[in-house]
Amino acid sequence: MVDGFELRVSERKGEGVFATRSFKAGEIVMVGVIEKRLKKNHSHASQIGENEYVFHAGSISKVNHSCDPNCGIRINETGAHDFVAIREISVDEEITFDYAMRNYGVDYFPKECMCGSEICRGKVTGWKDLPEARKKIYEGFVAPYLIEMDAKYCAEQT
């Protein structure tokens, strides 16, 4: 199967991953493959569990954040993150996801968000600081451990 995406360099944002064909909502855009499991967090790591971090192989680690992303995350059978289209994606559109779909906290995020979307939050936040309304919109497209952590911390507070 030919990949439907490629790495490109743009002047404004540096490296990004762009669609080379269109995708329908619900289609898998990029298949996640775990390259290496890590003992702790790292600026290029993906969080896949409360205390589990990995490096994904290939271009998946180059996908930029957006506060209005066209992709979400679904765990595949290897435990890696597939990127799934939330809405239709057209050719040459940049593939984006919300870092909050993957990371509970914000250890390594840049302070200012550069996504340029109309609903930009201004700052890149993790799942824990994401507004409730956004969490609803992302339902089914975020790493499942985030939901588990929400439940766990809510239970501890009451």
Task: Report the nearest approach of Zn ion to the CB of residue 78 (Å).
Answer: 30
Is 95 or 115 the residue whose CB approaches Zn ion more closely? 115
Under 8 Å between Cβ of 50 and 75: no
Comparison of 48 and 124: residue with beta carbon closer to Zn ion:
124
Q: In this structure, are residues 8 and 15 in contact, taking their beta carbons and an 8 Å threshold?
A: yes
Residues near Zn ion (CB under 5 A) are 67, 113, 115, 120
Shortest distance, CB of residue 11 to Zn ion, whole angstroms?
A: 19
CB of 111 to Zn ion, least distance (A): 12
Q: Which of 54/115 has CB closer to Zn ion?
A: 115
User: In Å, what is the CA distance from 146 to each residue of 13, 38, 108, 110, 137?
Assistant: 28, 19, 17, 21, 15
